[in-house]
Structure 1
Amino acid sequence: MAPKALVRCFTEARLSTYLDHCRGDVQRALQLYAWNTAITGVAWEVLAHVEVALRNALASGLQHRHDRLGRPGSWLDDPIRDLDVRARDDIFEARRRVLRAGHTPSAGQTVSELNFGFWRFLLARRYTTTLWPHLAGAFPHAPNRSRTTVEDLVASLHVFRNRAAHHQRLWQEPLVRRYDDMLTLLGYIDPDLRNWVAAGSRFPDVLAARPTGAAATVRTTQRSAPGSTRTGIRAT
């Protein structure tokens, strides 16, 4: 397909930043655009593991808290109104989606319908003295029990995930740092999970194949200890 036809399909407005970066070279801009799609794809592969592991860890911690407090049913019922209005609305809508799909809104079905933002905001400051003391145990390998240690990582990944979901320019993101954030968070939950995801990740290879500039190179590293968060990538 001719470059001009591709520009028409994607629109010059969408490609303008790529063209500026490549000094008007359409062929290079399209190569960068294609690479951005590729890095987005491999980022999603890691983000998928992060999202599932995070929601399962938090949901488990919340159910354990619910049971310890002697409350019936599921933490999703929120009988004492521990959650804010937005969170309760999210749960209500998640259950409605499950019902519309023809399923019973079990805890597992409902949890799977709650988006990343729901879990991110369960780590917010408003829950420091209520939920966090029980959620800290969901990250047994974190360096400390500070809420912000986890929240800062999840907040940065929430923004990164949304940029990927909206097909935005990930090549302008600090990709080495975001990859490290993903692996670090997984390591806080379970070092074996972190290592398994890292071993199967295509992110470093795609990052190293960036067609313009020298944003990052890949080097081989040896893990110094179980749960190490070293990614094997360094910025240059």
Structure 2
Amino acid sequence: MILDLAGSARLAPYLQEADGDDERARELYLWAADLAGALFSTIAFVEVGLRNAMDRKLRAWNDQQGIDYGEDWALRKGAAPLLYDLVTHKSLASAQNFAVEQSRLRPKTHPRRLVAITHDDVVSHFMFGTWVYLIKPRVWNQPQQCQQLWQECLSHAFPYADPSDSGRERLGDQLDRVRKLRNRVAHHENLLSVDIRRRLRDMLGILALIDPKLPDLAMQGNRVRSLVRTDPRRSW
């Protein structure tokens, strides 16, 4: 049944871990699916917390970049040049289009059906990587832009981080590791070789840089640690 569900290619790593034992592979697959669900709830805390912390500071910063710019940097061409270059036209256009489509698809009884999209509508549709690449350069020629935005704006979104450029680089590496984990979980890729404890430390560490109280909030009812302890491979 698991083979029919997952397919031979997706199940292959589990069979390999189980030395070809079908029952153990099944047990491992079900455990990994449970772990992925628990991880995604933790990632959600990071993604929402990161988005809101960064956007608050970006709105204030963008509003100070001249008379042509205001707080709503995600609408139309409202982002100042430095921010626009880092977010990229492609990411902005994609998020704006998704927001418009969501407005169109709302039920007829919804009070916001077909209404003009807001800044918050667009911000909620940015990919996780969009936020990461404001801190960690996505291409070789952007380090100075990331450094400038960090110094002028984004270091204030992480008041408990090292405000130096070394602090930005460390945070950027943490964020990028979480981005890769998020993609694996979202695409239902196996987590068999992922160091879950370290990735959890990354996520809680990021939250603590925003507010030291956030890690405890994120871990209320969280099952990641208990699931790591019940990895079936530990008893084979």
Could you state the TM-score of these two structures normalised by the residue count of structure 1?
0.83
The Cα offsets for residues 183-229 of structure 1, whole Å up to 9 and x where unpaired, read as: 00000111111221123322111221211127xxxxxxxxxxxxxxx
Aligned to 2:24: 28
Distance in structure 1 (CA, Å) of the matches to 2:194 and 2:174:
15
Q: From 101, 108, 132, give the equivalent of 2:150.
A: 132
Deviation (angstroms), 1:80: 3.2
Following superposition, the deviation at residue 8 of structure 1 comes to 2.9
What's 2:89 paired with? 88
Confirm or deny that 1:141 pairs with 2:137.
no
62, 75, 88: which is aligned to 2:73?
A: 75
Compute the displacement of 1:57 (Å): 1.1
- Output the aligned Cα RMSD: 2.0
Provide the secondary structure at the position in 2 that maps to 1:101.
Answer: helix
How has the CA–CA distance of structure 1 residues 62 and 7 changed in structure 2, closer, same or farther, with 3 Å as cutoff?
A: same
User: 1:14–1:143: structure 2 CA closer, same or farther, 3 Å change rule?
Assistant: same
Q: Is the 8 A contact 1:82 1:130 kept in 2?
A: no
Are residue 37 (structure 1) and residue 38 (structure 2) matched? no
Give CA deviations for 1:76-111 in whole Å, capped at 9, x if unaligned. Answer: 211435422762221122111111222422111111
For this pair of structures, how many residues does the alignment match?
211
**Which residue type is aligned with residue 128 of structure 1?**
C
Gaps of 5+ in 1: 215-236
Please give the alpha-carbon distance, in whole angstroms, between the structure 2 residues aligned to 1:49 and 1:9: 30
CA distance in 2, matches of 1:66, 1:86: 13
Please tell me whether the aligned partners of residues 186 and 193 of structure 1 are also in contact (alpha carbons under 8 angstroms): yes
Distance 1:148 1:207, change over 3 A: same
SS of alignment partner, residue 232 of structure 2: coil
The answer to whether the 8 Å contact 1:98/1:104 transfers is: no
Aligned residues with identical type, % of pairs: 30
Partner of 1:226: none
Measured in 2, the distance between the counterparts of 1:79 and 1:142 equals: 25
User: What is the TM-score when the length of structure 2 is the normalising length?
Assistant: 0.83
Alignment partner of 1:111 is 2:123: yes
CA shift, 1:19, in A, is 0.9
The question of 1:157 aligning with 2:178 is answered yes
> For residue 221 of structure 1, what is the aligned residue in structure 2?
none
